[in-house]
Each structure stands twice: as structure tokens, then as C-alpha cells.
Chain A
Amino acid sequence: MLALSQYLVVASAMLVGVGLLAYVGALSPRARARAEVRVAVPVGAGGPPVRQPASAVHEAEHHGLAWYGSQCTRLAILMLAVSLVLRSIVTGHGPFANQHEFATAFAFGLIAAYAYFEWRYDVRSLAVVVLPVALGLLVYALMIDGDAKPLVPALQNNLMLSMHVFLAVVSYGAAGVAFAAAVLYLAHPWLASHIPALPSAETLDEIGYRAAVLSYPFMTAFIILGAIWAEMAWGSYWSWDPKETASLVTWLVYGAYLHARVVRDWRGRRAAWLLILGFAAVLFTFFGNLFFGGLHSYA
């Protein structure tokens, strides 16, 4: 069963790679030109919709490259979900106990968050930033030790482990989408002329904010749960452990971003840079175990 779980991770990585190529192809100006020729003029509509989707052309192009990109992404999410469930059945605990498991879950959260925003906001261009990060995480997960290991005493609290890390997965996934929106927002002046399907800078700014607004409460919740668990296991709700402090840095950066949005001269580019900094802090918190020890050294 564990082998099957691993095969599913490999298959997911391949699907993410293929999906990424499909999205890149769909966003290229040449593909856009072809798609626009095929779009039929709608008749009988009751008037212009409130919101004109940025990639409305893709909606008409039911089986174009972008459609395949979406399907690959959705299939990858399904496979990763099955892989994580199988792993949980084998190990008897939530699949969040080591770097391999969390990297896989992180990639799952990232792709799932992207799929949600694609569905909710109909913006597929985010994929060209989100999917490479997810692919990198999956490749990393496959390169490191993927053996199922039993829990060390500190982690033997299945409920807390599952809740604490699951919330982190959701939070980090949404943070990845916010990062993608911020990258595209900053690159918008250069990309807009080359990628007609790129949403407006305002839409990207809004998506970045929405993703951060989704990420932040989950981030707060998992840090709080971590504190409660730390009090239970280590005797103190806060020990200034490097992983704790790194997550505090991340939380403060996103907190700064949310406040920057209401400070006049910080809106826009500066706020977008904070989202990029925030995701860098997320990655630093995750990979920090490779170079700092502390109480989270097993994670």
C-alpha cells in the first residue's frame, strides 16, 4: 500500500508537469490567437454580465490546452489525496510526521488552493507560478527518505498532529496562491503585452489579498494549536524554538501585508512584495529544519 502511495506521488508529479506545460501553452500569444478565432459570438444573452472573466476565451475553448491543464491539476489533487490517505492508513497517523510527508501534503495544499482560486475567480495564469512550486515540492518529497516511520514520543498526539499540520497545509497552500498573484502583479507591466489572457493588475491584487485572507486565519490557528500542543508536550506554550520563531516571522509578514493594504502608499507594489516575502518565510520555515535544530528537528 505504501508503494502504491509513492507511485501516486510520482504520477501526481508527472501530471503537474504536464498540466504546467498545458497552461503555459494555453497562455502563449499564439494559442490565444487560435482560440479567439474559434470563439463563437454568443447570442440571446440578457446583457453583459457583472464580471467579465479574464479568461472567458478559455471557457469557450472547452478542450483547449487550458482545459487539459485544469484536468491534469484536478487529477493530481485526487491522486495526492489518495496517496496521503493510503499513507495514513499504513502509518496509523496523519501524513504529516516528517519532511517527505509534509512536502507531499504541502504540494497537495498548494495545488488544491490553486484549483479553488481557478474555480472561484476563473484565473488560470496563476498556474504558471503555483505549479512549478508544487512540482518542486513533489520532486523534493520523492528525493528524500519516504519510508513510513512510527511516531517519536513528542508527536504521539494524533489529533494535534493532524489538526496542527493540516491547518498549516491549507494556510501554506493559500499563501502559495497569494505569492503567485503577487508575482504576476509585479510582472504585469511586462507580461500584459505578451499574455493577453493575463487578468488585470487589480484582479491579481484582489486575488493576492483573498488568498492571504484565507491563509492568515489558518496560519494563526495552526500556530495557536502548536502552542497548545507545545504546552502539553514540552511544558511551555512558547519556547522560542527556531521553527516557532520562523513561523512567527511568517505570521508577522502576512500581518504586515494585511495592514499595508489599508495604508495608502503601501498598497500595490509594496504590498505585493510583502506577499513574496511572506511566501519566502513560509519556505524558510518549512526547509529550516535542514539547517537549524531545535524542538522541531524531527519535522
Chain B
Amino acid sequence: MSQDTATTRPAAAAPEPKAPRPVRRPPSMPRNAAHKVYALFYNKHFGLFLILAMAVLTLLGTLLQQAPDEVRADATAYQSWLDDVRPRYRGWTTPLSAIGAFHVFSSVWFKAVCVLLALSIVACTTHRLPQLWARAQHPHTHVSDRFFDHAGLSRDREVDIPAAQAFEQATASLRHHRYRTIVDPRGPGLNLYADRFRWGPFGTVLAHTGFVVVILGALVSANTGFKLANLPVTVGTQSAIGHDTGLSVEATNFTDSYYEDGQPKDYASDLVLYKDGARVAGKTIRVNQPLRYDGVTFYQASFGTSAVATIADATGKVLFKGGIPLEWSTQDEANVFGKTLLKAQGLEVYAVGVASGGSDPEIAPGQMRFEVYRADSTEPVDTRVLDQGKPTVVGDLTLTFERERPYTGLRVANDHGTAWVYLGCGLMMVGLIMTFGLRHRRIWVRVTPTDTGSRVRVASPERHDITFQSWFGRFTDELAPAMGERPTKTGV
């Protein structure tokens, strides 16, 4: 090869088309303000600031203990929770609580950053889309000689064949590499613009749109449908799902099994689902195998023991018959307890048993303690330890403790946002693959006649892209022999 010069010096930026300057009137004040807001949102610095702000808030929510939603919903429970974490955060506890640091992800700060980031993405995308379209459909095909001198990648060589033939071969070679070629009729010489993957940059639009769709999907999840974090269903009983679904679920069996080292092996619940009293589905659910029916999903979430009891009033009328799941444990973890509310009577009946591995001298194996409270009081009306199968008067009620039975804890969800979130995730993935895998490659070729043949100049503004750099080198290497390269005297 004669003259074969590759440059990797700082490149001149790709030439952009110079659009004619429209004559505009000065915008009115409201339009001006709106434009400034729009400009703020598509400003890259602002977008970067919002991403980092979201990262900082998320980190804060990771490092600081977060109060569960159900705890925050109850002022007393939240106060108790704060007292629990006070030894850890000491004097910072109250200020941290005041600024929402114990519920970062539902705080006004986090929500504001999410909304602003979504708006920023929308503004950026709206602002950028016409530019991407112009670059893909109406590329700037004409460049100056200076561009070939200063481009990030360039090759300059002299060949023996006439300019028209060299130009034709360069065009054919680029087409062979699946480049779109556009001939630029303006001189000097013969000029060609070639590009590949011109739709690749639209991947950023898809990826960013996907992120916004994920945020919208999360909003849909939070504000529509319903979620029951833990619906305990005692084996042999039915529980209504509510929320106008007409659904009720019956647990016919629950089994838990363990490996030899005590690690849990399997939790399985046999469920039967009824809609308006008619059986509509049945399945053995496990942790990774939920039951789905008509948009409602039943997940295996927890398990425990229920106290199966019958509660009757003084007249013998049965007020409650079923299982009272012992869902909670006392602070010393010696006991487990559950409750049922008798709304009409304004009473709460607590069943208290002995926790697994715990002991209570008052409650012998096979017994259960029942405590009756008025709904507005913390002092029990009456407390009795009951043997199985013996009706006993507790307060104004007659309680019969039938037996202990397992219950299965179900998480029940009707989440309309999930599909949107998945759609957003899909868009993000497609967008990322397009953006990073199909980078827009642009090449300009100029062929000018010389005394002995022609001069071929190939250039691309791509900088510091080693993959493309290597391809560019190989491509121009392949091009040379086809054009009848010959030694020449100078380099550029």
C-alpha cells in the first residue's frame, strides 16, 4: 500500500446540517416561561442530578431501617417501632422520622424525584426525537476537506484506477457491509455518505420510555387493585377475599417439610377457590407456584397454628365458629396469639397459645388461653385457660376450644400494574440492546482524480471506539487491494 495514513488524533465533531435560521417573533411571557421549564427538564445536567438524587435517596432507604406500611398506618404501633429503633439511631431518631427517612420510598422526596425524573425523561426524549429522526432520515451528506483531515478515523490513499471506478468499488464495498449509501452530488470529486444501524439511537427513546412506563406501572400497582399481605386460612375453613371479587378460598391441607439439617424444604397448601359459592379452581400452591384466577393471585406466604373454637353468646347463639390464627408472638416470644372481632358485641376474643420452643406454666399441652376484651379497652373482661372440647363461660360468652390446626398464610394480590411494569422492562431491554449493540456508524468517502489514478479518502467521526476502529481499519485494508493500490510518496 502506498499512502496509508490512519489517524486517531482528537477528531473534529461530525458536521451537522446547518438549518436555515427561522425568523421568529419574541415569545410572549407565558410561552417564554414554559419554554424555560421545558429547557430545564431536557437539560442533561438536571437529568443527571435527578438520577443521582434518586440513587442517594434509595441508598438512604437501604441503609436506614424502614418502618413497614402497616406499622406506619397505626400511630401507636409506629411510636412503638420508633422506640425499638431509638437505641440504634439515638438522638437522630426523631429528626430522621420527621423528614421521612424511615419511609423513604413513600416519602414526598422520593415521589417528587420520581415524578421529576419521569418529566425530565419525557422532555429529553421529546427534545431529542426530531434530532434522531433528522440524523436517520436526512443525514448530513456533505463534508468539507477539513473534516477528512481532522476526523477521529480517517484513511487517505492513492490508487491506480480512475476516480469513477474507485468510487464505485467503495460504494459496493460499503453496501456489501450492509451500509446504506447516499451519493452526494456536490463536489469536490465524488462523494458518498454511508451509514449503518441508523435506527439504533432510537433505542434510547425506547429505553427511556420503558423507564417511564415502569414508573407509571408502579403507580397503577399502588393505586388500583388490592393486596392482602397475609390472609391466614385455617385448614378446613374458608376465608372470603372481599374487594367485590365474590371469591373465597378454602385450605384443605397444609404441609411443611424440612431437610435433615432443619432447613425448610417445602411449604405446600392445597387450595380450593370458590366464586359466588361455586368451585372455580383448585391447586396445591408452593412458594414458587401460586394459584392465579381471573387476575387474582394466591401466593404461599406464611404458616402457623390456629386455635379452632366456637364462640356463643348467653342464649347459645353461635357468634363465631372457625380458626383463630395465632399470627403474632409476644415480645418475650414465649407465646403466640391471635384474635377475632365480634363486631355486633363490641368484643375482641384473643386466643393465646405456647410458642414453638417456648413454655408457659399456665398453659399445658392441649390447652389454650382465651381472653375477652371490650374493643375500646385494654383490660380483659375475663381470662380462662380452656381444655379441648369443654364449653366454658368466659365473660358473657361461652367458648369451646375444639383443637389446634395449622393455618396457611396467603398473600393475595390483584395487581393491574404488573403488566405495565413488564412492558416497561421489555422496552428498556430492547432499547438498551439497540443503543449499545446497534450503534449508528457513519462514514464519508471522497474520491478525487489525480494524474495517475485517484485519491480515496475515507473518514468517520467515531472517536475512541476501539471496536469500530478495528473494523474501520480492516475495511479500509480490504478496500485497498481491490482498487489497485500502489506505493506513493507521502502521508498525511
Q: Chain B 343-378 against A: per-residue CB contact (8 Å), 1 yes, 0 no?
A: 000000000000000000000000000000000000
Task: Return the chain B residue nearest A259 by Cβ.
Answer: B48
With contact pairs A51-B470, A156-B287 given, residues A206 and B465 touching in the complex (Cβ less than 8 Å): yes
Question: What CA separation (Å) do A221 and B432 show in the bound complex?
Answer: 10
Question: Inside 8 A of B428's CB, which chain A residues have their CB?
Answer: 220, 224
Q: Would B45 and A156 count as touching, CB distance under 8 A?
A: no
Closest chain B CB from A292 CB (angstroms): 7
Whether A248 touches B58, Cβ cut-off 8 Å, given contacts A154-B288, A227-B425, A235-B301, is: yes
CA distance A237 to B290 in the complex (A): 14
Complex contact A235–B4 (CB within 8 A): no
A249 and B58 contacting across the interface, CB-CB below 8 Å: yes
Nearest Cβ distance between residue B1 and chain A, in whole angstroms? Answer: 5
What's the interface size class on A, roughly?
A: 35 or more
Which single member of B288, B297, B415 contacts A153 (CB below 8 Å)?
B288
Let me know if B48 and A260 touch, CB within 8 A. yes
Are the CB atoms of B464 and A252 closer together than 8 Å?
no
8 A Cβ contacts from B1-21 to A: 1, 4, 6, 8
Partner of B6, one of A50, A152, A156: A50
Chain B: interface residue total (CB-CB under 8 A): 58
B-contacting 9-mer, from A9-17, A41-49, A128-136: A41-49
Whose C-beta in chain A lies nearest to the C-beta of B436? Answer: A213
Render B447-486 as a binary contact track against A, CB cut-off 8 A, 1 for contact: 0000000000000000011110110110010000000000
The reply to whether A217 and B429 form a contact with Cβ atoms under 8 Å apart is: yes
Select A150's contact among B45, B263, B418, beta carbons within 8 Å.
B263
B1 touches A46 (CB 8 A): yes
Contacting pair B436 A252 (CB below 8 A): no
Q: Which residue of A lies closest to B267 (CB)?
A: A153
Q: Are A232 and B58 in contact (CB-based, < 8 A)?
A: no
A74 neighbours in B (Cβ, 8 Å): none
Write out the residue numbers on chain B whose beta carbons fall within 8 Å of the beta carbon of A297: none
Chain B residues closer than 8 Å to A121, beta-carbon distance: 466
The docked-state distance in angstroms from the alpha carbon of A207 to that of B464 is: 9
Contact of A228 among B290, B422, B432 (CB under 8 A): B422
Residue in B59, B259, B413 with the greatest tally of chain A CB atoms within 10 Å: B59
Residues of chain A contacted by B290 (CB below 8 angstroms): 232, 235
Q: Please tell me if A205 contacts chain B, counting CB pairs below 8 Å.
A: yes
> In the assembled complex, which residues on chain B have CB atoms less than 8 Å from the CB atom of A153?
264-267, 286-288, 300
Known contacts A150-B259, A153-B264, A259 near B470 by CB under 8 Å: no
Give Cα A292–Cα B64 distance, bound, in whole angstroms: 10
Q: Does A191 contact B (CB under 8 A)?
A: no
C-beta contact mask, A201-239 vs B, less than 8 Å → 1, else 0? 011011101100100110011001001100111111110
A196 within 8 A of B: no
| Closest Cβ neighbor of A223 among chain B residues | B425
- Which of A149, A150, A217, A231 interacts with B432 by CB under 8 Å? A217
Q: Are B62's CB and A217's CB within 8 A? A: no
* Inter-chain contact B470/A50, CB cutoff 8 Å: yes
Flag whether B99 is at the interface (Cβ < 8 A).
no
Identify the stretch in B49-57, B85-93, B137-145, B305-313 within 8 Å (CB) of chain A at 4 or more residues: B49-57
Interface check A266, CB cutoff 8 A = yes
Within 8 A of B (CB), among A131-166: 149-150, 152-154, 156-157, 160
Apart from A152-B264, A224-B428: 5 A-B pairs, beta carbons within 8 A: A51-B469, A153-B287, A227-B425, A233-B299, A259-B47
Q: Which residues of A contact B (CB under 8 A)?
A: 46-51, 120-121, 149-150, 152-154, 156-157, 160, 202-203, 205-207, 209-210, 213, 216-217, 220-221, 224, 227-228, 231-238, 240, 242, 245-246, 248-249, 252-253, 255-256, 259-260, 262-263, 266, 288, 292
